[in-house]
Amino acid sequence: MDYKYIEQLLERYWNCETSLEEEQILRSFFRQKEIPAHLLRYKQLFAYQEAEKEIGLGEDFDARILAQVEKPVVKAKRLTMRARFMPLFKSAAAIAVLFVMGTVVQRSLESSDSGVVFVHDEYRNTTTDPQVAYEPVLPIDTVAKMAADEATAGTKN
């Protein structure tokens, strides 16, 4: 028998150029009992394709798939009163922290009773003459006396 045609079909099969009819010819050829030795290595490929066609899903296929798909039963988690009120406790603590911080900031801004008088609070521009700025408000001897009093008070401490 001339096997040139089968070899050509195999070459076209590997290049993906065969039609369905030509592939069927190859399958029927490799189903034979007598195949030349140089083509025996391809017999398992075509025999495998025929054997796989006959294998079905089986009777228990649906049951196996449904067993994998079904969701397990989830038990309800028991919540304690503490677990239920925990978000409420957290928000109450956050509000308390904000309230305390606001109170501290407000007290620090209001406490101007420290005895310090800032010049900008007491200053009033009552004159338009620039020469008045050079004149001392207190007599010079009074300023010197105040400086001496501060110096003696600093040495006593």
Nearby residues of 115 by Cβ (< 8 Å), 6 or more positions away: none
The predicted-structure confidence for 76-128, as pLDDT tens digits, reads as follows: 888 899 999 999 999 999 999 999 999 988 887 776 555 565 555 555 666 67
C-alpha 88/C-alpha 82 separation (Å) is 10
Rg over alpha carbons for the chain, rounded to the nearest Å, is: 52
Q: Please give the helix or strand (H or E) that residue 82 lies within, else none.
A: helix 81-110
* Closest listed residue to residue 7, CA positions, set 54, 44, 39, 55: 39
* Pair of tokens at residue 104: 């501290």
**137 and 122 Cβ atoms separated by less than 8 Å:** no
Mean pLDDT of all residues in the chain? 80
The predicted-structure confidence for 48-63, as pLDDT tens digits, reads as follows: 877 777 777 778 888 8
Q: What is the pTM of this model?
A: 0.35
